[in-house]
């Protein structure tokens, strides 16, 4: 009699365990698919917009946290020239930075905690420990391959060309801000309100020579272009900021 009762209890426990396992498996899969789709959609936006904006990152973070404690890792492979890349992992070097065709941004998501399904299949059953841990963390990884340039990003050789093109116009000043000189250097005619000293050419002074000069412009460097207009709507200042 006691054996039959014990057998019945064990049977009920196993049925309950399997039922919970099935229910929580479908919940687990639903979360996995939702997170994966969310990551895919964000990667698609980055591919076509050429920037991983602060707002888009916040959207990704807020929505993944609804389903768990998600870790977000980023890797940016920034194309310097065909087949040559610089790799960045810090968010400060990625979020809000304009991208160009050929750049690759990988977004990796992983829940730092197990779902109920993961906890159940790794739980101890009737006193017997599960020595083989089953990895069931929800993970998702997508790489956004940038398909068009950000509208406000140009290469260093474009900056040098624009210095030649615009600096001789007394109504326009060109300001180039490099990573070694965050104050920037002006090019143009000293009759312009912003230009302290007439300078029409880049590369004819020690601070612009070689890659050690603080105002040296790398041909393949990325520069964000900003245009400032005067009261009449004409170009007053063209600002280039090295990224």
Q: Mind listing the pLDDT tens digit for each residue in 10-31?
A: 767 777 767 766 777 778 788 8
pLDDT digits (tens, 9 = 90+) for 202-219: 988 889 887 788 999 988
> Rounded to the nearest 5°, which phi and psi values hold at 183?
-80, -30
pLDDT digits (tens, 9 = 90+) for 56-77: 999 999 999 998 889 999 999 9
Q: What mean pLDDT is predicted for residues 215-226?
A: 87
Check residue 63 and give its pLDDT: 93
pLDDT bracket for residue 151 (50, 70, 90)? low
Instruction: Identify which has the larger pLDDT, 83 or 105.
Output: 105
pLDDT digits (tens, 9 = 90+) for 152-190: 778 888 899 999 888 888 899 999 999 999 999 999 998
d(CA 41, CA 145): 13
Check residue 128 and give its pLDDT: 43
Two tokens, residue 99: 């991208």
Two tokens, residue 75: 């890797």
Q: Residue 35 pLDDT more than 70?
A: yes
Check residue 7 and give its pLDDT: 63
Check residue 148 and give its pLDDT: 75
Check residue 1 and give its pLDDT: 57
What is the radius of gyration, based on Cα positions, of the chain? 28
Percent of the chain with pLDDT over 70: 84
Smallest Cα–Cα separation from 158: which of 85, 83, 227, 217? 217
pLDDT bracket for residue 127 (50, 70, 90)? very low
Check residue 185 and give its pLDDT: 93
d(CA 225, CA 180): 18
Q: What mean pLDDT is predicted for residues 98-122?
A: 82
Domain map (residue ranges) of the chain? 2-145, 153-242
Check residue 107 and give its pLDDT: 97
Q: Residue 94 pLDDT more than 60?
A: yes
Q: Which residue has the tokens 């709507």?
A: 233
Q: Residue 2 pLDDT more than 70?
A: no
Instruction: Tell me the average pLDDT of the chain.
Output: 84
The upper half-sphere exposure of residue 236, i.e. CA atoms within 13 Å in the direction of its Cβ, equals 9
Q: What mean pLDDT is predicted for residues 95-100?
A: 86
Instruction: Identify which has the larger pLDDT, 110 or 125.
Output: 110
Q: Residue 125 pLDDT more than 60?
A: no
Q: What mean pLDDT is predicted for residues 33-47?
A: 92
User: What is the DSSP track for the chain?
Assistant: -HHHHHHHHHHHHHHHHHHHHHHHHHHHHHHHHHHHHHHHHHHHHHHHHSB--HHHHHHHHHHHTTTS-EEEEEEEEEEEETTEEEEE--GGGTTT-B--TT-EEEEEEEESS--HHHHHHTS-BTTB---S------EEEEEEE--S--TTEEEHHHHHHHHHHHTTSTT-EEEEE-SS-TT-EEEB-TTSTT-SS-B--SSSSGGGSTTTSTT---TT-EEEEEEEE-TTS-EEEEEEEE-
Task: Give the strand order in the sheet containing 153-155.
Answer: 153-155, 222-229, 235-242, 173-177, 185-187
């Amino acid at each position: 009699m006691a054996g039959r009762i014990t057998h019945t209890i064990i049977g009920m426990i196993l049925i309950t365990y399997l039922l919970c396992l099935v229910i929580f498996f479908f919940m687990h899969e639903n979360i996995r698919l939702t997170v994966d789709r969310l990551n895919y959609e964000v990667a698609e936006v980055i591919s076509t917009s050429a920037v991983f904006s602060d707002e888009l990152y916040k959207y990704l973070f807020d929505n993944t946290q609804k389903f768990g404690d998600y870790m977000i890792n980023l890797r940016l492979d920034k194309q310097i020239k065909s087949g040559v890349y610089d790799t960045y992992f810090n968010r400060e070097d990625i979020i809000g930075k304009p991208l160009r065709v050929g750049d690759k941004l990988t977004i990796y998501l992983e829940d730092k905690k197990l779902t109920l399904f993961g906890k159940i299949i790794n739980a101890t059953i009737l006193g017997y420990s599960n020595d083989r841990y089953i990895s069931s963390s929800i993970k998702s990884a997508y790489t956004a391959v940038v398909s068009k340039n950000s509208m406000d990003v140009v290469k260093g050789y474009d900056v040098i060309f624009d210095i030649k093109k615009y600096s001789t116009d007394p109504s326009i000043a060109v300001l180039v801000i490099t990573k070694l000189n965050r104050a920037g250097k002006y090019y143009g005619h000293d009759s312009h309100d912003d230009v302290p000293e007439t300078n029409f050419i880049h590369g004819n002074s020690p601070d612009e020579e070689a890659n050690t000069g603080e105002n040296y412009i790398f041909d393949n460097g990325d520069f964000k272009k900003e245009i400032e207009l005067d009261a009449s709507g004409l170009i007053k200042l063209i600002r280039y900021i090295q990224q």
